[in-house]
Structure 1
């Protein structure tokens, strides 16, 4: 962001998130008067009002909302750059590959086995994470590569290689009448009496409206399906985590799910390049 300092962005972000100069100053470990003056100088430099101040408190203007979004992106990118730089200073450390805990075990095992057979292959540390965490870990510099599903995660800013394309299944309680069918359609599972579809978090952490439970982790989802409280539509490879209390029925018209290995587009890591070469040959 031309003309803006990282310190200014940190100050503004703290005030914009707290909507209170006193709390923001405490969060930053500084006194309130210099913080107020810093925000005023920032507004004068930009020539726009960022915050509405009145007796009831502080509120963001439209311009302030834009700057908050941009500042978060910039601060996150700076933190990620610092982490990647520290990782680059330790070239003998393992590559970190992140994937959902319920990701395709078969394609992951094939990738790891094929890579381990390569001469001078780097060690790969696999980090299994929860819903939506793999993209965030890759973006913030805590991982070198990630297995991502573009249907659920964004590949923007990454290079990627497609590893697998698969259909989806409906996971239901094993005793439910629909579980006995050889296949189902999306319409069949859209409005099942007493069995509302699970609601997955959006990328911003909010949930879409609906009657189904908000899913926070996969063990919770598995329990709720087994108890007959919900159903879920998931990639076919997720059958790996099913219990005997679950049934997976193929869906005839669900969009295909592709699994990509993704990595930062600006990476110059030779070790990572070796892992990607292995993945491209699977």
Structure 2
């Protein structure tokens, strides 16, 4: 079988998302007949039908379902490669580092200081995102490297080096009875009727079921805690999110959170490798200074 083309994969994905050739053609800015021919040619090249046609639209066959699951990431990887190549070809080159807003501030500063002091290292541009966006930034080529947390983030498809491991704390409203405790357990925080856990959107934008408030940003989350509407458990270094209306209490049996520097597993960039080494060096120096 000949290699598949990104154009025909994009056509296929659009039809698979719409399950209707007319709507898919409108999205693609083309008429329906050439789209139908392109899908037929794709099916002939693969040697199997990808859609079952019916008067009201189409449905995916078993083969189409498999291709749909693989085609999206493949197209995203091609687009990401283009963005990284474009950035590498600029006259003034730099690396893009994705981080969570408010997280790992001291470690981030230590890393940037080491990177800036290295005459052979590229400058770093920092882009901030909300929870779980760092993985998306790496996958779509927006970022070259990212600071992520092994406890929370999906590291599938990335290589990573551990930078530091730390305890987690509960961020509570200052007026809540649990805020006076010297320490808590996960059982103390489970199913609190007055402080249901906040719900972050999934990758597809939908929210998991539950009584907790729906949030989209760290700022929203911090204000909801201050208003006594929810509680959060976060790495201790993320206490830069803490407001005067908050109290941070250690959660003794919570899983330890490990901050990592992550990058696409397929990367062969010496500039990325140098940045990773600098991040590890900065983390080691930072840990030594904290224990001195």
Sort the TM-score into its range (normalised by shorter chain): over 0.9
8 Å CA contact 1:189–1:197 kept in 2: the answer is: no
- Give structure 2 stretches of 5+ with no counterpart: 283-292
Deviations along 1:116-137, whole A, 9 cap, x unmatched?
2223432111111112111111
- 1:138 maps to 138
Distance 2:255 2:177 in 1: 24
TM-score by length of 2: 0.90
How many residue pairs are counted as aligned between the two chains? 282
Distance change in 2, residues 1:244/1:98 (3 Å): same
Alignment of 1:105-124 (within 5 A): 105-124=105-124
8 Å CA contact 2:50–2:61 kept in 1: the answer is: yes
Distance 1:248 1:202 in 2: 27
* Mean CA deviation greater in 192-201 or 171-180: 192-201
8 Å CA contact 2:2–2:45 kept in 1: the answer is: no
- 1:75 maps to 75
Distance change in 2, residues 1:118/1:5 (3 Å): closer
Deviation at 1:62, TM superposition (A): 3.0
Distance 2:250 2:203 in 1: 26
Distance 1:44 1:54 in 2: 19
Alignment of 1:140-159 (within 5 A): 140-159=140-159
1:167 and 2:193 matched: no
1:39 and 2:39 matched: yes
Deviation at 1:2, TM superposition (A): 5.9
Distance change in 2, residues 1:72/1:254 (3 Å): same
Distance change in 2, residues 1:272/1:193 (3 Å): same
Deviation at 1:172, TM superposition (A): 1.4
Distance 1:20 1:204 in 2: 21
Deviation at 1:264, TM superposition (A): 2.5
1:187 match: secondary structure: helix
Deviation at 1:161, TM superposition (A): 1.4
Distance 1:75 1:218 in 2: 30
Alignment of 1:1-282 (within 5 A): 3-90=3-90, 92-282=92-282
TM-score by length of 1: 0.93
Distance change in 2, residues 1:3/1:115 (3 Å): closer
CA-atom RMSD in angstroms: 1.9
Deviation at 1:168, TM superposition (A): 1.2
8 Å CA contact 2:162–2:259 kept in 1: the answer is: yes
* Mean CA deviation greater in 46-55 or 222-231: 46-55
